[in-house]
Structure 1
Amino acid sequence: MKKKIGIVVLAAAIGGVTACTSTPVGQQNAAPVTTTSVDVPAPTTVVVTEFVTSTATIPPKVVTDPPKAATRIDNRIGYGPLKMGMTLAEVEATGLVGTTLVEADSARCWVSSQVLVSKNFGLVRITLPAEARTSAGIGVGSTFADVKRAYPAAKEYRDGFSAPVDEKVSYAFVGPASVEHFADSDKVLSIKLSSRDADCSMALI
């Protein structure tokens, strides 16, 4: 009896091992599974650049600053701040003639050694300072030959030579007094700017 039991136990043990190592029935009949690797490309980012052309209308600038005083440009012929045609008040406002102006010709004119002012025509004569020179380089001490070279239109008159600056104003190059005719070697003693519109006495001009 003992031998038979041992055989049965051994058989059962062998059967259990067999049962543990055998392939299940369901898996023996299943179809093989095939795995395929597919390369999926990385997503591509597309950037769309759009150029838009538009016309902008810029509104006009609004000026809010207070208006400034206008600056007068005085292009009249003259010497420094003294300009031909200035009124008596304008001449005095330059501060160049002081209080030396006196009435003349029955109050038609005001005169000094520097200027002559007409009530009707304004400043009609300016006597240039001794150191002054014209734009052509003529000054006190120049000869009348120099004057005629610098101003071909210059003409002799009672006090020297006169040369036109424009249609209304002339230079007066004054020479030595008490001569009937001025030689080329005679020298300029003074220079004046004179207006043809002057209504003051010729002796004052």
Structure 2
Amino acid sequence: MVEAKKMAQREKVIEELIQNQVAAVTKTERDQQSNPNTQGVTSSIENINGYPVNLLDNEETRSLKNAYQHPGAYYLSGFIHESQGEVSLAAPGYRLAIELRPQVNFFKTSIAKLDANIANQSKKSFADTLTVIDTGYMPKIIPYHISQPFNVSGNPKLVTLTFPVIEKSTERFGPSLIQLGDRVANPELVAHIDSMARNNLRDEMPAYTF
């Protein structure tokens, strides 16, 4: 219960920090375009020839609401509160998980059955069990070098620029089912850390390109 409440507090702090960062980048871009010496300078990675934009901008990253809210963490918070009979605290966790990942069926099932589950908690002869599966590799950021011509004191010079990029990984194992005794469950993907990392890097790219 304590950790679940801490998580909610941390998420709020992270949200405020991200919003402040976005505001700072927006202000820098605005100041840049209003300054005659820096007008036309790009802060968009899409305008840098050669950068593999497709590694940051794909269907999975675009489907994320943001790069810092983990739907599985919110669901876990709701699950813990439900186990303690706290409807008012469990429901917000489930709702946020659904908001971040609406295609996950058991998120929607959990909130639909929340009131009935808590009302019948004392009558149950078994305990609900949540199985969390972590699989795959953590995203790896590597340097990506691009050579671009620039005019320096009226003379063309070839300058090598370095930007961060996340390697593409195709190695992903997703179990189609798990069996516990005589019970079979079909896991669902609730969070894709690789996509969250790419989304986060995409948000941070203007700071690298000023």
Q: Same fold (TM over 0.5)?
A: no
Higher normalized strand content (fraction of residues): 1
Question: Scaled by the length of structure 2, what TM-score is found?
Answer: 0.21
Which structure has more relative contact order (CA 8 Å, sep 6+)? It is 2
Higher normalized helix content (fraction of residues): 2
